[in-house]
């Protein structure tokens, strides 16, 4: 799932949403007409330029030999790419992940889209049904709702974003519902059945059997772009490590359904092979982010080439969901901190009390700070607000600075009016049941 391609769609959806709010900001617009094909063309051009620049940088580096093809291990030190044999004393596996299709009766025929296909869809579905409630599902759900589709989300758990702080997840869920996204939590997809040219999706929700229907579900054609349709069912239930056809058993690399097993230094069970990014399983599988994969790469390269002995520390590894409002987090949630045995203090600052948020008309949201009582050590920061993906870095820096306390945030002089004032205000009232002072 490409970060940049998806965010290009997010930006188009955001612009459309703001245009529809014109009267709120004191001006008039005509009818908003969404041209999905033009949106996808913009997304494709952004990707093309980015890929060209990245590829040019690799190809122009005399220290790098780029070989295109499908690689597989014949042994821990022997790799075949196409018909070329490479003797590899040390290897880093970085094959990433691919969309995971849920085990639902009826999905043995191509009657659904996986998330990658939505990056190519060129005609707007009238009704989009999304199976899933994590980041990918939520981003696409809001994108296509803002584009004009009716969107229904089928979430197996009792809430969206199960790894996020509960208050933060609830704040986002309320915002999406307010935009017209239908979210059915606690829902089990029982089966999918073709009916004529369309598809029926049978679900169990709140103890009741229900049936949803797509008139002509979009289909992924793996040899080309998805076929256009009036309605679309989408499975966005996660991604699985791409380990197919790599010859990991021949290399002696231990792996399971969730990915490759590595130790804290990212070394696999084969002592000369390391793994990085979304291909990893175990504790690493929770952090499927590009920025985490980049850090993996630095650590694995230093360990492989210099025996640096560096380990991956997820304590201050941030993550974000690029909905609107955005969700971003670092460290422990309130529940995780309590379960870990900490005595905690929590600070909260509603977005509606942040001056800049009111000016921008972005008052949905919450900044939440979790700290250890007595020491002031920052255990976690969780934000659902406009530009949360930028704001969270204050928490990242604080957790990596000195003793990891809130002092870098509390002692800083933050510009007024900015959203960052809300982060500081949240830190100021750690341990209080009252919101921080209002940012004027």
- Report the catalytic residues: 416
- What is the maximal distance between C-alpha atoms in the chain? 67
Please, are residues 234 and 214 in contact by the beta-carbon 8 Å criterion?
A: no
**How many Cβ atoms are within 10 Å of 108's Cβ, its own excluded?**
8
Contacts of 91 (CB under 8 A, 6+ apart): 79, 272, 273, 274
18 Ramachandran zone, left/alpha/beta (phi>0; psi -120 to 50): alpha
- Going 130 to 135 to 136 to 141, the CA torsion angle's sign is positive
In DSSP terms, 96 is beta-bridged to none
Rounded to 5°, the CA angle 195-200-201 comes to 155
Q: Which residue, 97, 108, 148, 107, is CA-closest to 127? A: 148
Round to whole Å and give the CA distance between 304 and 292: 18
DSSP string, 271-335: TTEEE-GGGB-GGGGG---HHHHHHHHHHHHHHHHH--------TT--EEE-SSSEEEEEE--HH
User: How much of the chain is in helix, strand and coil states, percent to nearest 5?
Assistant: 35, 25, 40
Closest-CA residue to 330 (of 367, 289, 379, 372): 379
Burial of 62 (0-12, 13-18, 19+ CB in 10 A): exposed
């Amino acid at each position: 799932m490409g970060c940049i391609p998806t965010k290009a769609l997010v930006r188009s959806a955001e612009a459309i949403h703001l245009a529809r709010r014109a009267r709120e900001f004191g001006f008039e617009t005509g009818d908003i007409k969404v041209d999905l094909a033009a949106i996808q063309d913009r997304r494709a051009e952004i990707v093309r330029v980015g890929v060209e620049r990245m590829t040019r940088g690799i190809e122009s580096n005399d220290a790098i030999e780029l070989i295109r093809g499908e690689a597989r291990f014949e042994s821990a030190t022997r790799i075949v790419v196409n018909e070329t044999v490479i003797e590899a004393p040390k290897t880093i596996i970085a094959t990433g992940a691919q969309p995971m299709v849920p085990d639902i009766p009826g999905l043995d025929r191509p009657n659904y889209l996986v998330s990658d296909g939505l990056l190519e869809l060129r005609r707007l579905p009238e009704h989009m049904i999304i199976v899933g409630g994590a980041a990918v599902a939520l981003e696409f759900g809001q994108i296509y709702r803002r584009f004009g589709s009716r969107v229904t989300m089928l979430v197996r758990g009792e809430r969206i974003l199960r790894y996020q702080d509960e208050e933060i997840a609830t704040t986002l869920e309320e915002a999406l519902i307010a935009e017209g996204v239908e979210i059915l939590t606690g829902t089990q997809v029982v089966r999918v059945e073709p009916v004529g040219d369309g598809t029926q999706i049978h679900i169990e929700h709140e103890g009741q059997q229900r049936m949803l229907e797509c008139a002509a579900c979009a289909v992924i054609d793996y040899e080309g772009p998805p076929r256009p349709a009036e309605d679309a069912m989408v499975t966005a239930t996660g991604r699985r490590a791409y380990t197919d056809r790599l010859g990991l058993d021949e290399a002696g690399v231990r792996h399971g359904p969730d990915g490759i097993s590595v130790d804290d230094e990212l070394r696999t069970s084969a002592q000369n092979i390391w793994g990085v990014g979304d291909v990893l399983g175990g504790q690493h599988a929770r952090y499927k982010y590009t920025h985490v994969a980049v850090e993996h790469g630095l650590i694995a390269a230093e360990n492989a080439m210099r025996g640096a002995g560096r380990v991956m520390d997820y304590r201050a590894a941030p993550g974000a969901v690029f909905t609107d409002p955005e969700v971003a987090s670092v460290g422990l949630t309130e529940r995780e901190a309590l379960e870990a045995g900490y005595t905690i203090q929590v600070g909260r600052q509603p977005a509606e009390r942040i001056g800049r948020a009111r000016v921008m008309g972005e008052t949905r949201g919450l900044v939440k700070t979790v700290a250890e009582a007595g020491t002031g050590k920052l255990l976690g920061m969780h934000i659902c607000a406009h530009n949360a993906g930028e704001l969270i870095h204050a928490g990242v820096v604080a957790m990596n600075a000195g003793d990891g306390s809130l002092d870098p945030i509390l002692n800083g002089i933050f510009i007024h009016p900015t959203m960052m004032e809300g982060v500081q205000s949240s830190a100021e009232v750690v341990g209080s049941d009252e919101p921080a002072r209002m940012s004027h």
